[in-house]
């Protein structure tokens, strides 16, 4: 099991969860070898810290007053618990942008996603390219958060299959 190749596929807050894994690989010798086994990374609508209050409230509430209340509540919570939430999230976000795993990456997002901001996805893509990573980005004009597969099924499947074929081609198990 310890020599098996790994293909990472994270949705939404899965980008943050993956950054927690990256942190463990960087700080815990027991997990450091995993980094070398990651052949590819796929991120669908990764959420940045700044997208949490606005994005979650927009996605969860249609009523503008409730949306505003929810956004303010999330902001207050993050400020009050900064030592345990905000500070850690921001540190992991930087680790996500400065990804120590340099394997090819597929980034899937939309210009109209209310949770994962397209500009921030483009920023991540640019950061990774500047690190010398092989990045393929697919940006749709119109599809909701983590719903690109449902709205653009043919293109989504083609992008993921093409990416997986490319990064997994040399694998023999």
Q: What is the pLDDT of residues 79-113, one digit of tens each?
A: 999 999 999 999 999 999 999 999 999 999 999 99
pLDDT at residue 1, rounded to an integer: 63
Query: Could you tell me if residue 88 is inside a domain?
Result: no
Query: Could you tell me if residue 155 is inside a domain?
Result: yes
Mean pLDDT of the 32-42 span: 94
pLDDT at residue 58, rounded to an integer: 83
Question: Are the C-beta atoms of 113 and 143 separated by less than 8 Å?
Answer: yes
pLDDT at residue 172, rounded to an integer: 66
Query: Could you tell me if residue 70 is inside a domain?
Result: no
Query: Could you tell me if residue 80 is inside a domain?
Result: no
Question: Are the C-beta atoms of 46 and 12 separated by less than 8 Å?
Answer: yes
Question: Are the C-beta atoms of 131 and 123 separated by less than 8 Å?
Answer: no
- What angle do the packed helices 86-97 and 118-130 form, to 10 degrees? 50
CB atoms within 10 A of CB 81: 12
Looking at the 3D structure of the chain, how many domains does it have? Answer: 1
Query: Could you tell me if residue 35 is inside a domain?
Result: yes
Is it the case that residue 74 has pLDDT exceeding 90? yes
pLDDT in tens, 113-171: 988 999 999 999 999 999 999 999 999 999 998 899 999 999 999 999 999 999 998 66
Query: Could you tell me if residue 138 is inside a domain?
Result: yes
Least confident of 11-15, 73-77, 133-137: 11-15
Mean pLDDT of the 19-27 span: 95
Task: Find the domain containing 140 and state its range.
Answer: 6-48+99-168
Query: Could you tell me if residue 64 is inside a domain?
Result: no
Of residues 2 and 140, more confidently modeled = 140
CATH number at residue 149: 3.40.50.1820
Helix runs in 81-170, H state only = 86-97, 118-130, 148-151, 153-168
In this prediction, residue 54 has a pLDDT band, given cuts at 50, 70 and 90, of confident
Query: Could you tell me if residue 28 is inside a domain?
Result: yes
């Amino acid at each position: 099991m310890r020599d098996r190749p790994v293909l990472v596929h994270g949705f939404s807050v899965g980008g943050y969860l993956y950054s927690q894994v990256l942190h463990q690989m960087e700080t815990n010798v027991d997990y450091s070898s995993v980094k070398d086994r990651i052949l590819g990374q796929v991120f669908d609508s990764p959420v940045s810290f700044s997208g949490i209050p606005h994005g979650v409230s927009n996605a969860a509430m249609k009523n503008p007053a409730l949306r505003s209340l929810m956004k303010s509540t999330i902001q207050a919570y993050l400020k009050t618990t900064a030592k345990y939430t905000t500070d850690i999230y921001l540190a992991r976000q930087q680790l996500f942008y400065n990804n120590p795993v340099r394997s090819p990456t597929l980034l899937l997002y939309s210009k109209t996603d209310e949770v994962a901001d397209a500009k921030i996805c483009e920023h991540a893509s640019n950061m990774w390219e500047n690190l010398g990573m092989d990045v393929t980005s697919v940006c749709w004009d119109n599809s909701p958060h983590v719903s690109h597969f449902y709205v653009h099924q043919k293109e989504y499947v083609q992008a993921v299959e093409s990416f997986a074929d490319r990064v997994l081609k040399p694998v023999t198990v």
